Each structure stands twice: as C-alpha cells, then as structure tokens.
Chains A and B, each alone.
Chain A
Amino acid sequence: MESATHAEGPQYSVRRTFEEALDATKDDVLRLGAMVEHALERAGRALVDRDVELADQVRWDDAQVNELQRSINTGITALIATQGPVARDVRELLALYHAATELERMGDYAVNIAKLAQQLAAEPEIPILRQIPQMEQLCREQLRAAMRALVDVSEEEARAVCARDDEIDHLYNSVYEDTMSLMSVAPDKVRQATHLLFAAHHLERLGDRVTNIGEDVVYLATGRIEDLNP
C-alpha cells in the first residue's frame, strides 16, 4: 500500500514553534515529577528520622511545585487556544495538563506526610511500621516509571505501572491491620497509631494518582480512555 512509503523517512514539520513549545511543556512536567519525588523522599525520611526541620523544608518547597504546575497549565491553555492542536497533539497536551494537576496533588500528600512527621515527633517515640518506608519507596519507583512512560509514550510501561499499584494497596491494608492491633493493645498509643495510619493512607492515595497518569499515557498512546485501577 502506498501509505507505507509515505509514513517512512524523516519527518518534516511545518509547526516547529508548536513542537518546541510542546517539548518545553513536557520538560516542565518531568521537572515537576522530579520535584514531587524529591518532596516525597524527604517527607518519608523526616517521618522515620523524626526530623522536624526536614519536614519544614518539604512544606516550604511545596509552593514551588504549585507555581510550576500553574505555569504548566496556563501554558497548555494558551497553546490550545492559539495553536488549534488536533489528534495526538491535543491528546498529549491534555495528558500533560492532567499529569501536572495530579503531580501537584501528590505534592500535597507529601506535605501532609511531612506534617504528620512533625506531629509524630512531638509525641513519645514509637517504632515506624516497616511497611511505611516500603510504601514510600514503591510510590517513588512508580512515579518515576509513570514519568518514563509519559516521556516515551509507552503504553506497555503505563499498563505495568497501573498493575503494580496493587502492591501499594496490600501494604496499606497491612498497615491498617497493624495499627488497629496496636490501638487495641496499647490505648496510650492511639494518637501515634492514627498518625501512622494517615501517613499510609496518603501514600495509598498518592499511588492512585500515579495510576491516573498511567491512564493518561494509555489515552495519549491509543486515544482510548480506560480505567486501569478499578
């Protein structure tokens, strides 16, 4: 069929300005992802190390996350309004817009965990359930994988990210069981146990947001909207 000969060969685009803007937007979303990952790593460390100052930094730095997210979404709105993107271009811009919004929310979860770290540090020390650092690490791996899938527009990688969210959910259920047991045997530790449960809950929510980005990548790659984390 003739179409095959047409599709091959170097691509010539009459929309270089638009493509440059699209690439710049993609870079910004990656940067936002890296910022959120860094925030999450520090929040997790602050929780384990009872490091109040580190937690403070996470809280302060969230303003930068919010600012970058707003700038990304404003830029995308302008591109849609002025460039009339269609087909894959418009899907990509919408996926990036949504990813930026999800990343901003993930940043908020990191801040919530940082706040819990500060509250826990003000209470008598209890051992941090080992599942929580595991969840935190898994969330960061998932976030990195989702960002890779977004850049490579890899449907396969995106589906793998969504499938792996079950591991985070299992860890969360396990934290739930352990904190419930702790509360029933040690009523004096109910406050700390509740903080831990909330930290795990934020991580579980964060994991879900990562799968939303995975769904965006599948939409970008295929044009189909699927629920990959039912």
Chain B
Amino acid sequence: MRTKEEIAPSGETLVHEAPRIRLMTDQAVDEAEQFAPGASEQSVAMPIEDGKVVFELQSLSCYYGSFRAVKEISLRVPHNQITAVIGPSGCGKSTLLRSFNRMNDLIDGARITGQILYHGVDLYADGVDPVEVRRRIGMVFQKPNPFPKSIYDNVAFGPRVAGFRGRMGELVEESLRRAALWDEVKDKLKSPGTELSGGQQQRLCIARAIAVEPDVILMDEPCSSLDPIATLKIEELMHELKQNYTIVIVTHNMQQAARASDLTAFLTMGPDRAGYLVEMAPTQKLFTSPDNRLTEDYITGRFG
C-alpha cells in the first residue's frame, strides 16, 4: 500500500498539513490548550491514552432553529480507529455526524454551541474554509450516490476539482484498490457507476471519498441499503481503511457496531427530545458490561 506522499506526487499538495489551518485560528489553539476534560456533568469523554485525538467535542449542542437536536456532548474521537455512534431513531446521531464536517452549515437555521476541535483546531472558527474541511473529512451516505458518470470519472472527480495534476490513472486505481473494488471493475472503468450493484456502488462512493486523500471518513448508515454479504464486505473494508484513516460510523445495526468498531458511543434523547451522550467506551466493554443502565437496556432491547 502506498503512502499519501506517493499518491500526491512531488510538488502536489493534496494534503494541507494541519499548521495551515492552525495559522488561521491561533485563538482556537489557545482555547484548546486550556480545555479541562470532564467539565460537564454528562461528559463521558473517552480518555485516550498514548494516542492522537482527531476530534474533541466540548459540550457540543446542535440546533435547528430553536430546536436543540444534540445536547452538550463532550467526547474524543481517536486517530485511526473506528468509532461507532448508536442510539434510537431521532437521538441526533446523524446531526452529530454531520457536525463533524460542517455538513449542517448547508441546512437553514442550523447552528452549534460548544466546540469541535479537529486536531486541536476549532472547526467552526472564523477563517476555517468549510470546503477544505469537507475535503479532509469525507462522508459516505446511507444510500450509495454515485455521480451519473463512468466509474473512472466518479473517482477522478474530486481530485480534478482539487486541481490534482499527477497521474490520475494511478490515483483512480489506488483508490479503487483501497476500496476493495478494483478487481471487480478494472475491465469496465468506462461503464456508468450507476450500473454497479448496491454494494459495489457504496464501495465506489468510498473510493471517491478516499481519492482526495481525506484524514477522516464519516459514514452515515453506509450499509442500511445493502444485503448481508455486501455489508460484511464494507465492514472488512473499514477494518483495512482504518490503517490510514479515522472512521466515524453512525449505524442502526448494533451488531454492526459490535463487529466493526473499536469504540462505541451510545446516544439517547431526553424528555426535551434532545440527543445526549449516555456512554462511550471501547466496543468490547460496552457490549459485554456497559456502565450505564440505559446503555444496557438499549443494547439488550429493553426500554424503560
């Protein structure tokens, strides 16, 4: 497997290193350093030992107009791990996920309070370019949504927009290989992406997401429209991808979270219908002996 430097040939800066954003937001960095974890009473922030933290949420609330969809969530997402977010419908999982790459900006009336630090940088600070944020933090959606273009162009689209001038053929191949799709499509790269099966389309979308060399891949129910075999393929793929990427996945399928993730965050909603974090723990721990009764009741199918 090639490194990021090899994929972005010499002189090509597909990947802007963190300091470039950092320069824009010195203030955010200062604030980040002052952060004392465990400040909020509901905070169940994961202690991350000896590892890099990609996202650090500090009392994050997300609003749509006056409705608070997500309430005071504090947590940390570790580097090159798979973090799953589970919880009942309407508990704000997808809202939370979309806040990680400012996808909610596109929705009228959406705003946040609190902070999301991305490698220590406040994602919502003035001067942070949401387009650059979304390039670094890619997203794969519930329904596979390939462009009505050829398989090749689906993957090449992002790099072209980003001004990539290296060997495109190699980048496309590498991305398709990483998405475990190359062998199935190498002889029909000119065929429309929409002609692939659902599972292949979803892997094409993953190839498209990784072609721009992101740092993080967000997945919103990526397997909900796939059959069990295609689902297992995506889960295996996630396992391989985590060597190079940080993955955050929202899933309704608890067994999927149990099988495929390293850490699990359980959200539920309060009487005000705002989603909040109940518990976040290593997946094995959460699925064998969770600390919180609410987690236990939810994952075992008992609701109070």
Contacts and interface: CB of A to CB of B under 8 A. Distances in A.
A86 B304 contact: no
Contacts of A18: 301
Interface string B264-295: 00001011000010100000000111101111
Contacts of A3: 278, 292-294
A87 B296 contact: yes
Interface string A1-43: 1110111111111110010000000000000000000000000
The residue in B254, B255, B292, B297 that gathers the most chain A C-beta atoms within 10 A of its C-beta is B297
A51 interface: no
Interface residues of A, number: 26
Contacts of A8: 304
B302 A86 contact: no
A188 B304 CA distance: 70
Interface residues of B, number: 26
Contacts, number: 64
A14 B278 contact: no
A8 B287 CA distance: 22
B142 interface: no
Nearest to B296: A87
Interface string A161-204: 00000000000000000000000000000000000000000000
A148 interface: no
A96 to B, nearest CB: 16
Contacts of B41: 1
A124 interface: no
10 contacts: A1-B42, A2-B271, A7-B294, A11-B304, A14-B302, A15-B301, A86-B288, A87-B288, A223-B288, A224-B289
Q: Which 6 A-B pairs have the closest CB atoms?
A: A223-B289, A15-B301, A2-B270, A13-B302, A86-B287, A14-B301
